[in-house]
Structure formats: C-alpha cells, structure tokens
Amino acid sequence: ALAVAGLVLAGVALYVVEGSVLAPLAHLTQAVERLQEQADLSARLQVAGDDELAHLGRAFNRALDALEEREAQYRDLVERANDGIAMVQDGVLRYVNPRLAEIVGRTVEEMTGTPYALYVAPDELPKVAERYERRMRGEPVPAVYETVLLHRDGRRVPVELNAGVVTSEGHLVNVVFVRDITERRRLEEEQQRVRQLESIGLLAGGIAHDFNNLLTGILGNVSLAKLYAAQQEEVWEILEKAEKACFRARDLTQQLLTFARGGAPVRRLMSLVDLIRESAEFVLRGAAVRAEFAFPPDLWAVEADEGQISQVIQNLVLNARQAMPQGGVVRIACANVVLDSPSPLPLPEGRYVRISVQDQGIGIPQEHLPRIFDPYFTTKQEGHGLGLATALSIVRRHGGHITVESELGKGSRFDIYLPASEKPAPRREDRREPQRGRGRVLVMDDEEAVREALRVMLERLGYEVAVARDGAEALERYRAARDAGRPFHAVVLDLTVPGGMGGKEAAQELLRLDPEVRMVVSSGYSNDPVLAEHARYGFRSVLAKPYRLEDLARVMQEVLAETAEPSPPAGRPSTRD
C-alpha cells in the first residue's frame, strides 16, 4: 500500500513539475531557437503566475522588446542614411539601402540579389573586382577609395567606397558604404579653375602692364601724327583706324584682366551710344548675324568703366551670335527708365539707362534660366561658362542689374540697368583739336618710351615738361624746383616701378612735402584699385594706359583748371618744334 501511495505521489509530482516547470522551459527553449535560427524578434512567451520561471519569462520578453526596438532604430538609421550601404556575399548584393538605389537610379527590389558588377563602370570594374577578391581573402587592400558607378540613364557617378568584411551566419560578407562625390568633384574642379584663373591673372597683369606701356608709346605718336594730318583727310582716317586698333588691343587685355581678377570700375562720364555700337560690331565682324540699333536722341549719360561695359556688351552679343548659328538679327536698344519704390527689380528708385540685347536664337530652357549666371555653367561645347557670370559681376559693381527672358525657339532678351548720371551727356569731342594749356609738369615713368611719348605730347599741348625715372627722382626734382621758386603745377606718376619707388609711395611723400600738389596717377594695370579710388590716395585724376593726346589734354585741363589760363586748341604743330 505504501508503494502504491509513493507511485501516486510521484506521478502527481511529475505532472506538477511538467506543467509548471518543464513546459515553460520548453517554450523558452523554442523561443530562443527561433531567435537564433530565424532572428525572429516577434517571439514572446505566454507568462502566468509569480514564480521564478514566470519572472524569467517576463525578463526574456522585455529583452526581446528592447532588441526589437533597437533593431528598428538601426534599420531606420540604415534606411535613412545619406550614404549608400550594401552587403555583398559571393559577388551578389544581399542587402541594398534606398540611398544606394537612388545613386544608381534603381529600386532596392531590382538590385537585391543581383551581381554588384552590374552597377560599376566597365573601365573601373577590374580595379573594384580585384580589391573585392583580395579583401575577402584577408589580404591588405585600401579600405577607402574612389571609383565610378553607372546610373540607369548611362550617366557616370563618381563615388567613394568604404569597405570592410564581417561575419554573418557563418559567412564572410563585404559591407560597403557608398558616398556620392559628384558635388565634391565639382567643387574641386571649380577650385582648380580658380587656381588656374589666379595664375592667369598674375600673367595677365604682367602682360597688361608691359603691353599697355608699348601701346602708350604707339598711341601717343599716332595722336601726334593726327595733328600733322589734320588737313589730309585720307591720312587722318588711316591714323584714326590705327588709333582704334590700339584701343581694341587695350580692351582685349582689359577683358583678360576682368575675366581673371575682376576689379573695381574706373568710372568716367560717358554716352553709351558709340561704345555699344563699336562693341557689338566688333563681335559680329565676319558673322552671319547683323545688329540693329535703336538709341533715343536724349539718352542719359552714365558714369562707368568704358572697358568693362564694353566687355558686358561683347559677352551678350557673342551669346546672341552663338544662339543663331544660321544667322539672324540681334537688336540692341537703349531707353531712359525711372524706377519707383517699390521696384520690381532689386535696385533703389531713381533714373537708369536700360540696354536691351535681343536675339532670334534657339532660346534657353526654363530649367536652365536660374543658373545661366552661375560661374562655369554652360550648355555650349566651346563655352567656358564665365561670360554671363562676368557680365553680371561687372554690372553689379556699377550698381546695376541684369534680367533675362527667354522662350525656346523664339530667342532671348537680356536687359541691363545702369544708374544714370545727373550730369548731361558729354558732347562728342573734336579729336583733331585737343585743348592746349600752360604750366610746368613733372612726369615719372620707368619706361623710357612712355616718358618720351608723354613728354612730346605734353609739349605739343603747350606745357613745360621735366621727367624722372622713379619716385625717388621725382621727389628730388619736385623739391629742387620748389626751392628754386619754379614749382611744378602738376605731376604725372606711373603707379608701378619695378625695383624702385612707385607712384603710390611717391604720392604720399609729395603730399607731405606739399599738401596742395596736383597729381595724376597713370598705370598699365588698369584693374589696380588705386585707379578706381584715386582720390583716396591723393590723386586728382587718372590716365589709364594707353591714352590718346585728347585724353591727356582733357585730364590736364581738369587738374590745372584752377591754376592755368585756358589756351586755344592745339592745331597743326609748327615744323620748327
């Protein structure tokens, strides 16, 4: 009886143990196996009671909750990553995040399970494949390197790869982070262009200085020769053409400087009519495109840099010419406009001169219009993408603005707004009769040809002239003349003197010696800021090389207006001089 009772008790105990201990343990074991084999974080234990196994089950469920939350966070991080991420096993993409699919213009679904080689540029595939194989063999290879992927539309996409090997489910897997470096490459190329432009700027500055010095000698003598040819119309016209050719050479140098460096405008009062006509005709010479002009007789004057505004017109007319490869008409018109407040343009209210350049070309796509003034943006094979950017920069430095309208198949229209001057437009000069003057003038220039040309021109205009090679000699001569009671009425200083005292330094010394000194700054570096802000450095006026006899006469009249009596115009010089 006792034995039977023991068996009964044992059975009851076994039943209790099986129900309260073994069954929960079996459920726990199954959940752990699912977690291990299937990475199934959704498995949960059914927990009842308050014993140790119940506490263990609840702890297990909480751990799964935390793991599931953490896994969701990591997945969201990977799915939203700015870089592409891929897992490659046996050369096949086992996982691809949305960003990588976006980089190559595809979907995650179509990329998953396909060979990675399908998305690498053919010329880059040997390098990528070699590094992949070596990495999987455990050999040392660069972890980070650049290559090129292929977009669905055939476009090459430069990328930076950062690769490493991990173990997943007993297999070696190559985990790759892919960064699109298209924008970085663009910035690097732009920086390289900037460095090239800086080098060009240094070269252009030297060329401009030397070239403009040479042109000053040539142009000065041409101007003098025109005096002799005043009564010979045919000879005078030939010399006039030679004079214009000298200025065209100067403008080309100025364009190179502006293209490479920019520069503050050296302003003077001017009418735009002749400048626009000559600039447009120069660009269209020999082309199948002709220009039509419309200028009102009462067009307001502007205070602007002649060379820079000429470059703006040339860039816009060249743009119109290239838009009409089969020929056509470019219409250039000017108008006086008054902007009220508020203005539809980003300009203060006031008077402006509007220059319109309209072509009959192919037009500009609407999606390109916001970018046409960006540096290096171009849709032309032969373009460098700086013409319109340079034009906008110049116009803004003049306090103006450019607008553009375009329609595909009908053409484009650019409107330039420049602030109008309150002063009346200057009358067209009679270049055959430059105004003569009186007084003693000191000329400082390191170039003998320039000194001689300037001396002869000034003497022809009626001035008494002394010359100096550098600033130190000019100071010595100025002091000696002042002490002798025969002071100079004006001083013309070359800005740059290699190896010696230049005009800027000499001007400061002269002002200390004589605060009333009347100085003119002259330079072949037409973009030097001293020319644009000459008054700040004590100069009364500017002579940008090269210059004509008429320009020299006008500047000397301005500087000496209060000290010298006006003289009659300079006619044909005497052969006895």
Q: Domain containing 318 — which CATH number? A: 3.30.565.10
Question: Is residue 225 assigned to a domain?
Answer: no
Judged by average pLDDT, the poorest of 72-76, 105-109, 417-421 is 72-76
Q: What is the DSSP letter of 435?
A: B
Q: Are strands 84-89 and 171-180 parallel, antiparallel or unpaired?
A: antiparallel
Q: Domain ends where: 26, 54, 79?
A: 79
pLDDT of residue 286: 81
Same domain for 359 and 461? no
CA–CA gap between residue 548 and residue 228 (Å, rounded)? 15
Higher per-residue pLDDT: 528 or 492: 492
Same domain for 553 and 446? yes
Q: How far is CA 385 from the centre of its chain?
A: 9
pLDDT of residue 573: 43
Same domain for 295 and 397? yes
| Closest CA relative to residue 466, chosen from 491, 494, 503, 497 | 491
Same domain for 292 and 398? yes
Question: Is residue 263 assigned to a domain?
Answer: no
Q: Is 412 in a helix, a strand, or coil?
A: strand
Question: Is residue 20 assigned to a domain?
Answer: yes
Tell me how many domains the chain contains: 4
Same domain for 445 and 413? no
Sign of the torsion formed by the C-alpha atoms of 396, 401, 407 and 410: negative
Q: How confident is residue 458, by pLDDT bands cut at 50, 70 and 90?
A: very high
% helix / strand / coil in the chain, to the nearest 5?
45, 20, 35
pLDDT at 12 over 50: no
Question: Is residue 245 assigned to a domain?
Answer: no
What is the average pLDDT across 481-498? 92
pLDDT at 6 over 60: no
DSSP H stretches of helix in 229-324: 233-261, 272-284, 306-323
Q: How far is CA 492 from the centre of its chain?
A: 36
Same domain for 75 and 93? no
pLDDT at 377 over 70: no
Question: Is residue 574 assigned to a domain?
Answer: no
Q: Is 92 in a helix, a strand, or coil?
A: strand
Q: How confident is residue 565, by pLDDT bands cut at 50, 70 and 90?
A: very low
pLDDT at 577 over 50: no
b/e per residue, 311-350, with b = 16+ CB within 10 A? bbbbbbbbbbbbbbeeebebbbbbeeeebeeeeeeeeeee
pLDDT of residue 216: 85
Amino acid at 131: R
For 373, the domain range is 272-425
What is the average pLDDT across 344-371? 87
Q: Six-digit token pair at 114? A: 């396909």
**Per residue in 184-239, pLDDT tens?**
888 887 777 667 766 766 776 677 777 788 888 888 888 888 877 766 778 888 88
Q: Domain ends where: 125, 154, 180?
A: 180
pLDDT at 166 over 60: yes
Q: How confident is residue 358, by pLDDT bands cut at 50, 70 and 90?
A: very high
Q: Domain ends where: 375, 393, 425?
A: 425
Question: Is residue 331 assigned to a domain?
Answer: yes
Same domain for 128 and 75? no
pLDDT of residue 553: 92
Mean confidence (pLDDT) of the chain: 81
Q: What is the CATH number of the domain that holds 134?
A: 3.30.450.20
pLDDT at 383 over 60: no
Q: Is 216 in a helix, a strand, or coil?
A: helix
Same domain for 330 and 379? yes
pLDDT at 284 over 60: yes
Same domain for 68 and 158? no
**What percent of the chain stands above pLDDT 90?**
39
pLDDT of residue 313: 93
Amino acid at 78: V
Same domain for 71 and 123? no
Judged by average pLDDT, the poorest of 5-14, 104-113, 132-141, 296-305 is 5-14
CA–CA gap between residue 425 and residue 419 (Å, rounded)? 13
| Closest CA relative to residue 354, chosen from 280, 423, 414, 274 | 414
Q: What is the CATH number of the domain that holds 480?
A: 3.40.50.2300
Q: Six-digit token pair at 101? A: 């699919």
The answer for residues whose C-beta is within 8 angstroms of residue 494's C-beta and 6 or more apart is: 444, 445, 446, 447, 450, 502, 503, 522, 523
Q: Are strands 289-294 and 144-150 parallel, antiparallel or unpaired?
A: unpaired
Question: Is residue 477 assigned to a domain?
Answer: yes
Cα atoms in the Cβ-side hemisphere of radius 13 Å centred on 389: 14
Q: How confident is residue 35, by pLDDT bands cut at 50, 70 and 90?
A: low
Question: Is residue 54 assigned to a domain?
Answer: yes
Higher per-residue pLDDT: 326 or 149: 149
What is the average pLDDT across 395-400? 91
Q: Six-digit token pair at 33? A: 């196996």
Same domain for 286 and 411? yes
What is the average pLDDT across 247-252? 75
What is the average pLDDT across 8-18? 45
Amino acid at 69: E
Same domain for 470 and 420? no
Higher per-residue pLDDT: 570 or 487: 487
**What percent of the chain stands above pLDDT 70?**
77
CA angle 491, 497, 502 (to 5 degrees): 50
Q: Six-digit token pair at 354? A: 């509007």
pLDDT at 566 over 60: no
Distances (CA, A) of 288 to 26, 132, 356, 398: 93, 58, 21, 32
**Per residue in 111-129, pLDDT tens?**
999 999 999 999 999 999 9
Sign of the torsion formed by the C-alpha atoms of 183, 184, 187 and 193: negative
Q: Six-digit token pair at 398? A: 């003049």
What is the average pLDDT across 167-177? 86
